[in-house]
Amino acid sequence: MEKILEELAVNFPGNEDLIQVYRDWYDTRALKELVNELDRYEPDWNKEKELGSWAAEFILDILQEKEEQWEEMTTEERKKYFQDILDERYEDFRCSHQFARLTNITLRLQDGENPETILTETDEKIMFPKP
């Protein structure tokens, strides 16, 4: 596990939420099931054009909310909860991320960078490696 955490720290510098998700939740059914539901909900959720660099925060918030209850819940109860929470929160969180992302893109454009280059560099960039 230490090797994985070190690689994450190198490949995703400054993303403490990502490190925490892997450190605290890596081997849990709750994380695996949430990632499965995210894949069903939006296959590109971990790319910058969706939740991207904010995915770890989104996941961590959900997992910590019911931390004491995950093991007591059945697989079907967790799946239903994740589906409901994604329906409720995903789009708002994605919009907030995209607003921040557009602000950063605007700053780069003001510095004279090419818009197509910026989008090509960032849209498909995976910011949360799936466990």
> Which range marks the domain in which residue 114 is found?
28-122
Residue 113 included in any domain: yes
Q: How far apart are CA 79 and CA 32, in angstroms?
A: 11
Give the pLDDT confidence of 25-65 residue by residue, as tens digits. Answer: 999 999 999 999 999 999 999 999 999 999 999 999 999 99
Residue 82 included in any domain: yes
Distance spanning both ends of the chain, measured CA to CA:
12
Q: What is the pLDDT of residue 76?
A: 97
Residue 4 included in any domain: no
For the chain, the average pLDDT equals 93
Encoded tokens for 34: 């949430």
Residue 69 included in any domain: yes
Q: Cβ neighbours of residue 57 under 8 Å, at least 6 residues apart? A: 17
In this predicted structure, the answer to whether residue 122 has a pLDDT above a threshold of 80 is no
Residue 100 included in any domain: yes
Residue 84 included in any domain: yes
Residue 8 included in any domain: no
Q: What is the pLDDT of residue 116?
A: 82
Q: Cβ neighbours of residue 73 under 8 Å, at least 6 residues apart? A: 66, 81
In this predicted structure, the answer to whether residue 123 has a pLDDT above a threshold of 90 is no
Residue 6 included in any domain: no
Q: How far apart are CA 2 and CA 102, in angstroms?
A: 35
Confidence of residue 102 (pLDDT cuts 50, 70, 90): confident
Q: CB–CB of 55/128 below 8 Å?
A: yes
Count of structural domains within the chain: 1
